[in-house]
Amino acid sequence: MNEALYDAVFSYGEGKVDPFALCYVDFDRIISDMRLVGYEINSFNIVQQIMLEQLDTLLKFKGQIIEVAMDLDNRDQFCREKYGVSFKDIDALDPTHDIEWDIKSGQVIFYLTHEAKHKEEAYITLFKKSMDQFTARTGFNYITL
């Protein structure tokens, strides 16, 4: 990507604070995918694309757990022992609706919605490793409201 395009698309404010300075993702693939479906190429839409990929990762992991535990007689006990969260609590997690994101002061933040705040312990317990890897790879910050 050329520098002028990068500055026009990714930089914010007079100080040109770059919300993607610490982000190590395949921007070429992301932007190419966005162009294929006709999305406007701007900072917020790129954050949205990156976040949607992460939410998909969380949903796949949750789905794998549900699939393994669904037919077990002791699924709550199994999930508590293996993942630290009950089957019922895992099933209640809905990253697509529970997690939101924004760009504030030149940084990308993501957080649980007010309605999902009571699920924070389950999210942290189940998805901590994935969230830590995601924040390390993207430079995005998880915040608690």
The string of pLDDT tens digits covering residues 78-104 is 999 999 999 999 999 999 999 999 888
Total Cβ atoms within 10 A of residue 114? 9
> Considering the entire predicted model, what is its pTM?
0.84
Give the residue with greater pLDDT, 3 vs 39.
39
User: Is residue 112 over pLDDT 70?
Assistant: yes
The Cα angle at residue 126 between residues 124 and 130, in degrees rounded to 5? 80
Q: Which domain holds residue 24?
A: 3-142
φ, ψ of residue 72 in degrees (nearest 5) = -80, 140
pLDDT-derived band of residue 59, with 50, 70 and 90 as boundaries?
very high
Q: Could you give the number of structural domains in the chain? A: 1
pLDDT-derived band of residue 1, with 50, 70 and 90 as boundaries?
very low
Q: What is the mean pLDDT of the chain?
A: 89
Cα(51)–Cα(91) distance, integer angstroms: 21
pLDDT-derived band of residue 41, with 50, 70 and 90 as boundaries?
confident
The alpha carbon of residue 95 and the mean position of all alpha carbons in its chain are separated, in whole angstroms, by 8
